[in-house]
Structure 1
Amino acid sequence: MSEVPGVPPAQQLLVGIARLGQAIRMDAWRNNGPHNLSPLQADIVTFLAEEALPRRQGDIVAALASTPPTVSDAVKSLRAKGLLEGVRDQKDARAIVVRLTPEGESEAGRLGDVSRAMSEAFSVLSEADLAAMLRGTAAVVKGLQDRHAIPVSRMCLTCRFFQPDAHPEDARHPHHCGFVDAPFGDAQLRVTCPDHQPAE
Structure 2
Amino acid sequence: MNFDDITEPLDRRLADGLTRLAAVARQLDWQAAESAGLSPTQADILRFVAGRPRGARLTATAAHVGVRKATASDAVAALERKALLKKCADMSDGRAIALKATAKGHRVAREWPSNYARIVDGLSPAEQQTLLGLTVKMIRQLQQRQLIAPQRTCVTCRYFRENVAPGTDTPHYCAFVGAAMAERHLRVDCAEHEPAA
Answering whether residue 11 of structure 2 is matched by residue 10 of structure 1, we say yes
Alpha-carbon offset, residue 55 of structure 1: 2.6
CA contact (8 A) 1:173 1:185 kept: yes
- RMSD of aligned alpha carbons: 2.0
State the identity %: 32
1:80 is matched with which residue?
A: 81
1:56 is matched with which residue?
A: 57
CA contact (8 A) 2:171 2:180 kept: yes
Distance 1:2 1:143 in 2: 33
Answering whether residue 66 of structure 2 is matched by residue 65 of structure 1, we say yes
2:173 is matched with which residue?
A: 176
User: SS where residue 180 of structure 1 aligns?
Assistant: coil
1:191 is matched with which residue?
A: 188
State which of 137, 140, 143 in structure 1 corresponds to 2:141: 143
Residue type matched to 2:141 in 1?
A: G
CA contact (8 A) 2:153 2:187 kept: yes
2:165 is matched with which residue?
A: 167
Residue type matched to 1:167 in 2?
A: A
Tell me the TM-score normalised to structure 2 length. Answer: 0.89
User: SS where residue 50 of structure 2 aligns?
Assistant: helix
CA contact (8 A) 1:154 1:196 kept: yes
Instruction: Write out per-residue CA displacement over residues 122-151 of structure 1, whole angstroms, 9 at most, x where no aligned residue.
Output: 222122211111111111111111111111
Distance 2:144 2:47 in 1: 24
2:114 is matched with which residue?
A: 114
User: SS where residue 166 of structure 1 aligns?
Assistant: coil
Distance 2:118 2:86 in 1: 36
Instruction: Write out per-residue CA displacement over residues 9-38 of structure 1, whole angstroms, 9 at most, x where no aligned residue.
Output: 222221122112111111111112664111
User: SS where residue 85 of structure 1 aligns?
Assistant: strand
Would the alpha carbon gap of residues 190 and 92 (structure 1) be closer, same or farther in structure 2, given more than 3 Å must change? same
Alpha-carbon offset, residue 54 of structure 1: 2.8
1:130 is matched with which residue?
A: 128
User: Unaligned stretches of 5+ in structure 2?
Assistant: none
Residue type matched to 2:136 in 1?
A: A
Distance 1:123 1:54 in 2: 32
Distance 2:139 2:132 in 1: 10
CA contact (8 A) 1:127 1:187 kept: no
Would the alpha carbon gap of residues 2 and 35 (structure 1) be closer, same or farther in structure 2, given more than 3 Å must change? closer
Tell me the TM-score normalised to structure 1 length. Answer: 0.87
Distance 2:137 2:86 in 1: 36
User: SS where residue 33 of structure 2 aligns?
Assistant: coil
Instruction: Write out per-residue CA displacement over residues 21-61 of structure 1, whole angstroms, 9 at most, x where no aligned residue.
Output: 11111111111266411111111111111211233212212
Aligned pairs, number: 195
Residue type matched to 1:7 in 2?
A: E
Alpha-carbon offset, residue 3 of structure 1: 4.1
Alpha-carbon offset, residue 101 of structure 1: 1.1
